[in-house]
Amino acid sequence: MKSKELLSACNTLALNLLFTKNTNTSLQEKMDELNIEFRKNKTVEDVIKAVRKGVKQGMGKVEHEISMSELYLADVFKMKK
């Protein structure tokens, strides 16, 4: 089970990715701000896939798109130690 802290960070990141213009640099800055890092063998491509999958599973409802993206992003990131 994912920690509440990780899910909260992923929720913030999902909102940021869905509603702002992003670059690799801004993603890294946001990761540092949220105190998260990539899991082993995960990359920016996995972030893109997670958000796309979340939007697809959200079935056009913004609340669902955010929560699904949050769940998929939690599989890409982990909290820093």
pLDDT in tens, 14-73: 999 999 887 778 899 999 999 999 999 999 999 999 999 999 999 889 999 999 999 999
Answer yes or no: pTM beyond 0.75: yes
pLDDT in tens, 50-66: 999 999 999 889 999 99
Per-position DSSP letters for the chain, written without gaps between them: ---HHHHHHHHHHHHHHHHS---HHHHHHHHHHHTEEEPTT--HHHHHHHHHHHHHHTTT-HHHHHHHHHHHHHTTEEE--
Total structural domains in the chain? 1
Q: Which domain holds residue 56?
A: 4-79
